[in-house]
Each structure stands twice: as C-alpha cells, then as structure tokens.
Amino acid sequence: MPAGNAGGPAGVSQDMHRIGFLSFGHWGPGQGSRTRTAGEALLQGIELAVAAEELGINGAFFRVHHFARQQASPFPLLAAIAARTSRIEIGTGVIDMRYENPLYMAEEAAATDLISGGRLQLGISRGSPEPARNGAAAFGYQPEPGESDADMARRHTDLFRQAISGAGVAEADPRYAGGATGLLPVRPQSPGLSERIWWGAGSRKTAVWAAGLGMNLMSSTLLTEDTGVPFDQLQAEQIQLFRDAWAAAGHTHEPRVSVSRSVLPIVDEEDSRYFAGSALRDSRDQVGVIDGLTARFGKAYAGAPDVLAGQLAADAAVQAADTLLLTVPNQLGVDYNAKMLGTIARHIAPAAGWRPARPDPETSR
C-alpha cells in the first residue's frame, strides 16, 4: 500500500495542474432539488466521485457544516468513495476544528487514508459562520480561559497533527499494554498522511502561519481582507507569501496549493436556464462583511466554454496554484454535475494547464 502521495497521484506530474470538484453537500426539498434527503446527498456524492474519476478528474472534495442540511460527518462518505475508486484524491474543504475530538479524528482519518491507499487530502480550518450560535460548545468543546474560538481550533489542530504523526498521546498502563511504559500513539497510523493536511486560510497572514507549520494551503472563493486589487491578484499574493514562508521554514517536501472557483459552462438550454442569470449577476468580484471583517469574494465564471477557458487562463491565482477545486451545484444531481465536469475537462480546464490523470478517448482529443 502506498505510503502517501506528496508527489501527486499517478499520471499527474508536479508541473501540471490538478482539478477536483468541491461539493457543499446541500440537500432539502426545495424546488428542483434532486437531493431531497441526507441519504440521497451522501449516495450521490459517492456516484459523482466515481463519475469524476472516469473523466480523469483528480479530486473529490466535500465541505463540512454542522447544524445544516449539508455534509456533517465526512469520514464515512470518504471511506465509501475510497472503496469504489482507485485513483482519485478524496478530501474535505474544510473541517471545522472547533468541533473535533483531535484523537478520535486522527483514528478516523488514518483508517480512511489506509482504505484509500494514501489518497486522503484533508482540509481543516477554524471554520466559517454557521447556523448555531455556539455549536462547538454543544459538541462539548469550549475555549480555555483567555482563548478565542480560533485559538481552540488551532489547539485541536496541533494535537491532531501530533497524533497522525505517531507521537505518544496517552500514558501506557503496563498491566494492559504488554509491559509497555511511556506514551502510547493512537492506532492505526497511515504513513504520509501528515504531509497531506491542508489549512483553509482566509487571509495572507493565516497562509504564512500555515506554511510555517508545514500545512498545505487551501484558499477559497473569499478572503477576509480587501486591498482594492482584483480577487485573483490578492489571492495570488497570498499564495506567493505562502510559498516564500514555506521556503524560509526549510520544509523538505513540496507544498500543495488549491484555489476554489465556481465555473459554470453554458452549452445548452438546460445550462442557460440554470446559470444565465449568474453570467450577468456574479461576473465581478464582490466586497462585503463576514465575521465583522471586510472580505473580498471572487466572481463566478459562467458562459460559453471558450470564454471561460480564456478567463481561467488569465486568472492569476489559478495559474499560481497546483490544484483547482470546482464548486458544483450538487442539488442538480449526479447526471447534471457529471455532464458539467465533462465539459470543463474537455473544453475549459486544458487552457489552465490541466490534462486528465487517465486520458480517455474524449478528454484526450
């Protein structure tokens, strides 16, 4: 079984972009929804990952939200995808570490990674605004005196990373540990997993912090700061600061960097019905407030494939990253999203430097 894939999955070289899909896992009885229940959302997530692998897509990623009609418990889903696939990376974008028991999460992550043969790419972070007023407290976790929520998330992250790296975390009882003494590590362990942890950074400062600790960078469609420059340029600056800090820290393995984009090709009447409005409404960056901070939100890319190909090729952050995560409208169902990913794979992503991981007669034309 592989010891990890810091160099990337088979068929993709270091200097080539990877693309994956990022599903928010929405479900509910809204008009037009094809994921009306949690069960449908989970099963369709598995089927979409299988379809994406057949297209040569490199990754299947899922957002994690609590107290909402979205994916909340990622490891059963990722393990099921791992059992149905053989090449595609599986991951999260992101897990809110305020909610997590770090040692139990280390066991779950290692077991999932072993099932996948070393394909887990785990995005974690402090989390984002949520429906619950103090959801982590309901799960039993509150900041220690003098800590903020962000501090608590980072404390959980530190213990989690120690645990997946094999550090001892619990005192042995020689009576039941075969005479062993000292600190015991959690089991199982999955070699290489510690190099496949990503931090979801919403600012340049946080990206530099993550680089210093040796975590990969996962940058979304918003940054909680605004300097007046276009979003892609601000994000490209964040990426460069991350890479500079990584080099200064002297880490021995290469970092990974992902950015997320909403890419909505319009090629037929169905696409037009869903996304023609987005092409007009969301074609520019937006500036707003999130968690009391001024934030810049990236634009959506919606339109004809040749137009989108040119726009992505000109996107500074897409070009600076090695991985592009495509947000998918999961409530439109597996067939629609597989069609959309196929259009992107054949007609749009190659302009951003991507080639399929396992070419098929369609994507290699």
Phi, psi angles (nearest 5°) of residue 204? -65, -40
Find the largest Cα–Cα distance for the chain.
70
Average pLDDT, the chain: 88
Is the pLDDT confidence value at 1 over 90?
A: no
The per-residue pLDDT for range 226-266, each reduced to its tens digit, is 777 888 999 999 999 999 999 999 999 999 999 999 999 99
Position 282 scores a pLDDT of 56
In a domain, 295, yes or no: yes
Between 201 and 14, name the one with better pLDDT: 201
- Render pLDDT for 23-67 as a digit per residue (tens, 0 to 9): 999 999 988 899 999 999 999 999 999 999 999 999 999 999 999
358 confidence band (pLDDT: 50, 70, 90): low
CA distances from 348 to 54, 256, 276, 309, 345 (A): 17, 22, 18, 4, 6
* Alpha-carbon span 195 to 211, nearest angstrom: 12
Structure token digits, residue 354: 């991507």
In a domain? residue 5? no
Contact 207, 242 (CB under 8 A): yes
Full-model pTM: 0.89
- Within a domain: residue 341? yes
Q: What is the DSSP string of 13-45?
A: -TTSBEEEEEE-----S-TT-S--SHHHHHHHH
* DSSP 3-state of 296: strand
Number of domains in the chain: 1
H-type alpha helices, the chain: 38-55, 74-84, 102-116, 135-138, 149-164, 204-213, 231-249, 269-281, 305-313, 316-320, 334-347
- Does 4 map to a domain? no
Q: What is the pLDDT of residue 303?
A: 92
What is the domain-level CATH number for residue 303?
3.20.20.30
Q: Tokens 């276009």 identify what position? A: 230
Residue 135, C-beta contacts closer than 8 angstroms, at least 6 positions apart: 66, 67, 98, 99
Domain membership flag for residue 357: no
Residue 317 lies in a domain: yes
Decide if 8 is inside a domain.
no
**293-297 and 301-303 strand pairing:** unpaired
Range of the domain at 217: 18-171+183-352
